[in-house]
Structure 1
Amino acid sequence: MDLPGIPRYTRKMLDNSGFRVSLHASAHGLRRSMLLGALLLASGLLASAQGHGINNPELFDSVLHYHTEEVTLPHQLQVQPAASLRFLNGEDANHVIYDVWGGSADPSILGMLLPRNLSPVSEGGWGLSLQHLDTGYVDARRWKNVQAQDVLKKLQDTSSQVQVLGWAMPPTFDPRTGLLIYAAEVKLPGAESTAVFPRVLLLGREGLVLMKGIIEKKHWEGLKKELQNLGHSVQFTAGHRYTDVQAGDRLYDYGMSALITEQPIQDPEKAPFRFPWMVLLMGMGLMVVLLGKRVRSRNLTLQAE
Structure 2
Amino acid sequence: MSKAGYVLAAGMLASAMAVAQEPAPVSDEEMQAAYQQHVEDILASVSPEHGIIALKGAPVSLDVPEDFDFYDSAESQTILEDLWGNPPDSTILGMLFPAGETAASSVWGAVLTYEATGYVSDEDAASQDYDALLASMQKQTREANPEYKRQGYPTVELVGWAVPPSYDAQSHGVSWAKDLVFDDSETHTLNYDMRLLGRRGVLSVNFVAPIDAVGEVKDVAPDVLDIPHFDPGSTYADYVDGDKKAGYGVAALIAGTTGAVVAKKLGLLGVGLLVLKKGWIIVLALLGGVGGWFKRTFGGGARD
Q: Please report the TM-score for the alignment, with normalisation by the length of structure 2.
A: 0.67
Q: Separation in 1 of the partners of 2:76 and 2:218?
A: 21
Q: Separation in 1 of the partners of 2:58 and 2:75?
A: 19
Is the partner of 1:92 in helix, strand or coil? helix
Give 1:83 deviation, angstroms: 3.9
Matching of residue 63 in structure 1 with residue 57 in structure 2 = no
Structure 1 residue runs without a partner (length 5+): 1-47, 263-275, 285-305
1:170 to 142, 164, 170: 164
2:195 to 188, 193, 201: 201
Question: Using a 3 Å threshold, how does the CA distance of structure 1 residues 96 and 125 change in structure 2: closer, same or farther?
Answer: farther
Supply the AA of the counterpart residue of 1:281. V
Residue pairs, 1:224-243, within 5 angstroms: 224-243=218-237
**C-alpha RMSD over aligned residues:** 2.4
2:179 to 176, 182, 185: 185
Match of 1:217 in 2: 211
Larger radius of gyration: 2
Matching of residue 72 in structure 1 with residue 83 in structure 2 = no
Supply the AA of the counterpart residue of 2:213. H
1:145 to 103, 124, 127: 127
In proportion to residue count, which structure has more strand?
Answer: 2
Q: Separation in 1 of the partners of 2:263 and 2:168?
A: 24
2:259 to 263, 272, 278: 278
| Cα deviation code 1:72-117 (max 9, x no counterpart) | 0233210112442111000000011012221012111111111113
Give 1:255 deviation, angstroms: 2.8
Supply the AA of the counterpart residue of 1:71. I
| Cα deviation code 1:218-272 (max 9, x no counterpart) | 233222222112211111111211122112222221232111112xxxxxxxxxx
Supply the AA of the counterpart residue of 1:68. H
Supply the AA of the counterpart residue of 2:219. K
Supply the AA of the counterpart residue of 1:226. V
Question: Using a 3 Å threshold, how does the CA distance of structure 1 residues 51 and 200 change in structure 2: closer, same or farther?
Answer: farther
Give 1:281 deviation, angstroms: 2.5
Matching of residue 130 in structure 1 with residue 99 in structure 2 = no
Is the partner of 2:193 in helix, strand or coil? strand
Question: Using a 3 Å threshold, how does the CA distance of structure 1 residues 112 and 259 change in structure 2: closer, same or farther?
Answer: same
Question: Using a 3 Å threshold, how does the CA distance of structure 1 residues 134 and 232 change in structure 2: closer, same or farther?
Answer: same
Give 1:282 deviation, angstroms: 4.8
The alignment of Structure 1 onto Structure 2 pairs a total of residues equal to 223
Q: Are the counterparts in 1 of residues 42 and 83 from structure 2 also a CA contact under 8 Å?
A: no
1:158 to 128, 140, 147: 140
Question: Using a 3 Å threshold, how does the CA distance of structure 1 residues 257 and 248 change in structure 2: closer, same or farther?
Answer: same
Q: Are the counterparts in 2 of residues 110 and 130 from structure 1 also a CA contact under 8 Å?
A: yes
Question: Using a 3 Å threshold, how does the CA distance of structure 1 residues 147 and 49 change in structure 2: closer, same or farther?
Answer: farther
Is the partner of 2:87 in helix, strand or coil? coil
Range with greater deviation from structure 2 (78-87 or 237-246): 78-87
Q: Are the counterparts in 2 of residues 76 and 237 from structure 1 also a CA contact under 8 Å?
A: yes
Q: Are the counterparts in 2 of residues 206 and 250 from structure 1 also a CA contact under 8 Å?
A: yes
**Could you tell me the percent identity over the aligned residues?**
22
Q: Are the counterparts in 2 of residues 119 and 125 from structure 1 also a CA contact under 8 Å?
A: no
Give 1:61 deviation, angstroms: 3.7
Question: Using a 3 Å threshold, how does the CA distance of structure 1 residues 76 and 86 change in structure 2: closer, same or farther?
Answer: same
Structure with greater contact order relative to length (CA < 8 Å, sep ≥ 6): 2
Is the partner of 1:259 in helix, strand or coil? helix
Q: Separation in 1 of the partners of 2:37 and 2:163?
A: 31
Q: Are the counterparts in 2 of residues 135 and 206 from structure 1 also a CA contact under 8 Å?
A: yes
| Cα deviation code 1:102-137 (max 9, x no counterpart) | 101211111111111321101x43321111101111
Q: Separation in 2 of the partners of 1:77 and 1:49?
A: 42
Match of 1:92 in 2: 75
Q: Separation in 1 of the partners of 2:179 and 2:188?
A: 7
Supply the AA of the counterpart residue of 2:160. G
Q: Separation in 2 of the partners of 1:218 and 1:257?
A: 26
Question: Using a 3 Å threshold, how does the CA distance of structure 1 residues 187 and 174 change in structure 2: closer, same or farther?
Answer: same
Question: Using a 3 Å threshold, how does the CA distance of structure 1 residues 102 and 173 change in structure 2: closer, same or farther?
Answer: same
In proportion to residue count, which structure has more helix?
Answer: 2
Q: Separation in 1 of the partners of 2:110 and 2:176?
A: 13
Residue pairs, 1:1-16, within 5 angstroms: none
Match of 1:121 in 2: 104
Give 1:51 deviation, angstroms: 5.9
